[in-house]
Structure formats: C-alpha cells, structure tokens
Amino acid sequence: HSIAAKISFYPPNLQREMNRIAGVAVASLRRSATTVCPVTLSSSSASASASAAAPSLFVTTARSYSATASTSSPEWHGTTILCVRKDGKVCMMGDGQVSMGPVVVKPNAKKIRRILPKTSAANRPAGEEGDKEKGGTIVGFAGSTADAFTLLERLEGKLDEYPGQLARSCVELAKGWRTDKYLRRLEASLLVADETVSLEITGNGDVLESHDGVLGVGSGSNYAIAAARALVDVDGMSAEDVCRKAMTIASDMCVYTNSNYMVEVMDTVDDEKKEGDDE
C-alpha cells in the first residue's frame, strides 16, 4: 500500500509506464519460475493495478526459490549384505543391526537364510543335518523385514517350480515383482547365491550378476564392495576372510551397520565340471 501511495503522486503518463514495466517483469518471472503463485486483485484505477503488480513480483520470486531448494534424497536400506566368490567357495555375510530412525532396535537380527530344496530335505534322514557347506541357496536381504520375507517366500516357490535353475527363478521373481501391483510396493533388495552363480534382485526388475564375484546391497554396500574388490586378489585370503575384513571396514564407516556378523559359506562348482556333468 505504501508503494501504491507513492506511485499515485506521479503524473498519469509515468504511472502507466511504471505499470507496464512491472507487468513485463511479472510475466518474465512467471515464465522462468518453477512454481508461480499469482496474486489477483481487482482494481479500477492505475494506482490499484500498480499495487497489485508489486505483491505478485515478490510472491512469485519467493515461491520459485522454495520450490527449487527442496530436493528428494535417495532411499537407502539400513543394513549391509556382502557376497564374495573365491577359490571354490561362496561366502555371504550380513550385519545384525536393526534401526528405527536414529535408534538401534536390535543388534543381532538374522538377515541371511539358506533355502534347501524340498526333495533333499525330504530325503534327509531324521536328525541328520548334513554338510552345511553343500547344497541349497543362500539368500540375504536388506530393507523392510516383512517385505523381505514376502519376497523370500516367493523365491522359494520359484525354486520349487524350477529346481536347479536359480537364474530362471530369479528372473521369474523379478518379473512378478515388477508387474504385480501389490509386489511392486515392497521395499527390499535380495542377494542370492548357489554353487554356480551369485545374483542381485531389485524392485526395478533387475537381475544382476557381478563380473568379479563381489555383490552387495544395503546402506554400507558401497564401502563393503570397494574393500572386497581390493582384497579379493590377495593370496592367502579365503572368501570368508575377504568378507569379514570388508564388512569390518563397512561397519566402521556406516552408522546403520554393526559388527555382529552372520555368515553362510557354500562350496562352488566350476563351469568346466558342470559342463562335464551335463554331458
């Protein structure tokens, strides 16, 4: 109102020129701003139109800055799962921390499971556990527990449907995860490994196989993967040794990862031996 009162003292021709310049400036800001909040005021005189143009200028500028300042941050799963294949062994290791915001709820959760085929479990004698480093599929998950167990049950069903075909089972799971309107809302990531291959399954429909035998998911996965790739070529270190050292580095750097590790180790089958058995 004070601006309008000052403008009213100018001659009519100067008032019209000032109103025209203010209108051009407002139109330019409206075209360039990401979010525009126009102020509409009814006026019957030149002075009232000048007072309406001035607030529009300030509101438009403020809204444009507030809209560009807000950016969405990526979602990370608060855990670390690492899988390493080396020297005839595949090792999957995960931490046990469960976090709810800034609070640690549980330090020793089990985020790694071993799925055994129903045929081998049924044929195994009662009371006999067998060799823990042979057979089955190792699964590690990061994300919501309920979502992860839902996907784990789906994967177990696919493995029963396609026995001995882990890659196909993972592809079928990823297809359903991507296309089903209920499954697509599940927030989790899976690492799966058997005696022949290690794979990562994401909610985007991706089934990824590492080129160097190192895979990881979770908030501290980047630290663990980098450390494991640096250590995997060191002579004298087994797959479990590489996993443990890499997870120690990740737990020191990621606040959502602790040092209570759960480990699953399995013997691997070379491609040449597998092709000879198939023949």
Q: Where in the chain does DSSP place strands (E)?
A: 80-86, 89-94, 98-100, 103-106, 112-115, 137-143, 188-193, 198-201, 207-208, 214-218, 262-267
Taking a C-beta distance cutoff of 8 angstroms, is the pair 271, 114 a contact? no
- Token readout for 21 is 């310049």
* Residues 218, 82 contacting (CB under 8 angstroms): no
Residue bearing tokens 């996993």 = 243
With tokens 């931490």, the residue in question is 95
Handedness of CA 126, 127, 131, 135 (dihedral sign): positive
* Paired tokens of 165: 């075909």
Convert 2-34 into a string of H (helix), E (strand) and C (coil): HHHHHHCCCCHHHHHHHHHHHHHHHHHHHHHCC
Q: What residues act catalytically?
A: 79
Distances from the Cα of 39 to the Cαs of 36, 42, 155, in angstroms?
A: 10, 10, 56
Rounded to whole angstroms, the Cα distance separating 95 from 111 reads 7
